[in-house]
Chain A
């Protein structure tokens, strides 16, 4: 049985993932901004088989409040061995180009808050000598593109942070998984036209659980984003700058 902390638990991908854990009889602490929705999700997970559920509200950009929530999760679940960080906002690129306030807020939510959460969690897991850390980054962090480079830059920061953390924790028995979903059909992307590359949250969730269980380092979800991003990364800059992506 896993004791799992999920931050950003009301997101579609996180909820779908939590259902898979619940069906296996894991214990879950759900963290998000909306207490009422957390309660609805916790009840659902309980029916699906979670041995224990707890909820806590947190605005992730309130860095000072983070530690108390991690303490609460540990207390409620009787320890922690798995953390899934799934919160994030899809940055409005045009707005972020115009406003430094937007830029900073987006970095706070999508990058800094993640690193801040991981700092005490990594230290606790290193001290206890076991644990799985899984973080939803994005394929957008693999290369900055004109259509969403502020979001991409924040995700790139997370990806780099995780890569370093993974090296550091490797010998402590703690695995760090970087999850890179492509296009996922969720409320966050509801205004986009959907094509063949779009995945459902359930499929991405199944990939996340599998990658955590197998203690993988990086998971592109669905898998075909790995070769796609390989190509996009390898395009030389003098060509890339002339492409509209």
Chain B
């Protein structure tokens, strides 16, 4: 338990860690402010509390009950999504919504109201949360669901841990026939082609997402692979590799630079020769390709990296994405895995939930100092101009005024904030 975030920027200071182990126990004593901290997979500073206390929830990792007939799972907030999959997939169930890593806790998934490649079908994580218990610093406990304490529910899902500690939750799982997916990968040459593919696939595929070559410029700009998939009825299929690679130490410099970036992206784009390719894939490499490489965040070197994820409303999506990609390619910065996805039109439950209708782009930038920050500020200008938003779970640097513009309802969270809870992120964007 290190008390850092996945991007390794910023580094917290004067932060005290308290390990929680008993969901029925009162909160431990702390001075100053506290913040629940799950597995530290938020990228920026939304899971940090410099000068305060982190209430580490990984010790709350017990299952409570599983109804294998109806797919209802009760578990403590520190259980990892991967631990849930290990338990339920063999019994014919799956997470109805999963982000791109299985190493997040249930509490973290709720507090960031995470989304996945099936947002256009299943919405956000919170849509599948039957309820959770919220423990406040005054010792009170509330059961929150879409029906009971619904205002607390809306404040807490996507509420970045600021409304109190989620101790345990009940999740509604989704039926599957097995661990495999039928995957179809289409190579596309432009953003227009991507949006056409995505619109056509939405009805027939549960999962849609694209990898995009963020280093491509000129005629090649906007090219990538569009990947759509459905859970497969297959009785057998490929097994995930049991080999676990890990980045053993932090290199002195980021391994991601202009040259490696262009080379990787070009090779990756041309990896697939055919325009369309089909495959039966296990859920692990499909949903969690990066989880196969332990501590991959180290490749960005000691200064860490910044992830940028934004959403642009439908009307502005195609032009806006083109503009963002042009600026990124011109900067020579960016990442191996830039991800593009069109969200569904369902309204997110949380006051601060990030997903909204439109297209979302996510990619990493090595922390190259002021140049990187200037680039991200420039991207913010495009996003704000288009009426979009940036995802707090990924953010380490957005200006307060920008955040308040992206989430105009942020003040309606005020009455629900726990007076003794705060985070580095929250102080940065609201004070």
CB proximity of B92 to chain A, nearest CB, Å: 15
- C-alpha spacing A23/B87, complex, angstroms: 9
Residue in chain A with minimal CB distance to B62: A44
The reply to whether B22 and A43 form a contact with Cβ atoms under 8 Å apart is no
The reply to whether A44 and B19 form a contact with Cβ atoms under 8 Å apart is no
The reply to whether B23 and A40 form a contact with Cβ atoms under 8 Å apart is yes
The reply to whether A187 and B63 form a contact with Cβ atoms under 8 Å apart is no
Q: Which residues of A have CB within 8 Å of B24?
A: 36, 40
CB proximity of B135 to chain A, nearest CB, Å: 15
Question: 0/1 per residue, B18-39, Cβ < 8 Å to A?
Answer: 0101111000000000000000
Question: 0/1 per residue, B305-327, Cβ < 8 Å to A?
Answer: 00000000000000000000000
The reply to whether A43 and B64 form a contact with Cβ atoms under 8 Å apart is yes
The reply to whether B64 and A187 form a contact with Cβ atoms under 8 Å apart is no
B196 CB–A CB distance under 8 Å: no
Main secondary structure of the interface of A (DSSP, over half): helix
CB proximity of B339 to chain A, nearest CB, Å: 31
Task: Count contacts on B: residues with CB < 8 A to the other chain.
Answer: 12
Q: Which residues of A have CB within 8 Å of B407?
A: none
The reply to whether A43 and B19 form a contact with Cβ atoms under 8 Å apart is no
B200 CB–A CB distance under 8 Å: no
Question: 0/1 per residue, A136-178, Cβ < 8 Å to B?
Answer: 0000000000000000000000000000000000000000000
B416 CB–A CB distance under 8 Å: no
The reply to whether B19 and A40 form a contact with Cβ atoms under 8 Å apart is no
Task: Count contacts on A: residues with CB < 8 A to the other chain.
Answer: 10
Question: 0/1 per residue, B57-68, Cβ < 8 Å to A?
Answer: 000001111100
- C-alpha spacing A48/B65, complex, angstroms: 9
User: Which of B19, B21, B23, B63 is in CB contact (< 8 Å) with A48?
Assistant: B63
Q: Which residues of A have CB within 8 Å of B22?
A: 37, 40
The reply to whether A190 and B64 form a contact with Cβ atoms under 8 Å apart is no
Q: Which residues of B have CB within 8 Å of A41?
A: 62
Question: 0/1 per residue, B268-282, Cβ < 8 Å to A?
Answer: 000000000000000
Question: 0/1 per residue, A27-47, Cβ < 8 Å to B?
Answer: 000000000110011011001
The reply to whether B21 and A187 form a contact with Cβ atoms under 8 Å apart is yes
User: Which of B21, B62, B87 is in CB contact (< 8 Å) with A43?
Assistant: B62
The reply to whether B19 and A187 form a contact with Cβ atoms under 8 Å apart is yes
- C-alpha spacing A190/B16, complex, angstroms: 13
CB proximity of B427 to chain A, nearest CB, Å: 28
User: Which of A36, A37, A40, A48 is in CB contact (< 8 Å) with B87?
Assistant: A48
Q: Which residues of A have CB within 8 Å of B19?
A: 187, 190
- C-alpha spacing A43/B75, complex, angstroms: 10
Q: Which residues of B have CB within 8 Å of A44?
A: 62-64
- C-alpha spacing A41/B66, complex, angstroms: 14
> Quick one: which of A8-42 are within 8 Å of B by CB?
36-37, 40-41
Most buried by A among B23, B63, B66, B75: B63
CB proximity of B29 to chain A, nearest CB, Å: 15
Q: Which residues of A have CB within 8 Å of B23?
A: 40
- C-alpha spacing A36/B19, complex, angstroms: 19
Q: Which residues of B have CB within 8 Å of A37?
A: 22
- C-alpha spacing A44/B66, complex, angstroms: 10
Question: 0/1 per residue, B229-246, Cβ < 8 Å to A?
Answer: 000000000000000000
Supposing A40-B62, A41-B62 touch, asked if A47 and B87 sit within 8 A by C-beta, the answer is: yes
Q: Which residues of A have CB within 8 Å of B21?
A: 187
Q: Which residues of B have CB within 8 Å of A43?
A: 62-65
Residue in chain A with minimal CB distance to B90: A49
- C-alpha spacing A44/B87, complex, angstroms: 11
Q: Which residues of B have CB within 8 Å of A36?
A: 24
Please list the residues of chain A having a beta carbon within 8 angstroms of any beta carbon in chain B. 36-37, 40-41, 43-44, 47-48, 187, 190
Question: 26 A-B pairs, CB-CB below 8 angstroms?
Answer: A36-B24, A37-B22, A40-B22, A40-B23, A40-B24, A40-B62, A40-B64, A41-B62, A43-B62, A43-B63, A43-B64, A43-B65, A44-B62, A44-B63, A44-B64, A47-B63, A47-B64, A47-B65, A47-B66, A47-B75, A47-B87, A48-B63, A48-B87, A187-B19, A187-B21, A190-B19
Please list the residues of chain B having a beta carbon within 8 angstroms of any beta carbon in chain A. 19, 21-24, 62-66, 75, 87
User: Beyond the given A40-B24, A187-B19, could you list 11 further A-B residue pairs with CB under 8 A, ordered by the A residue number?
Assistant: A36-B24, A37-B22, A40-B23, A40-B62, A41-B62, A43-B64, A44-B63, A47-B63, A47-B66, A47-B87, A187-B21
Kindly list the 10 A-B residue pairs having the minimum CB-CB distance in the complex, ordered from nearest.
Answer: A47-B63, A44-B62, A47-B66, A44-B63, A43-B64, A40-B62, A47-B65, A48-B63, A37-B22, A36-B24
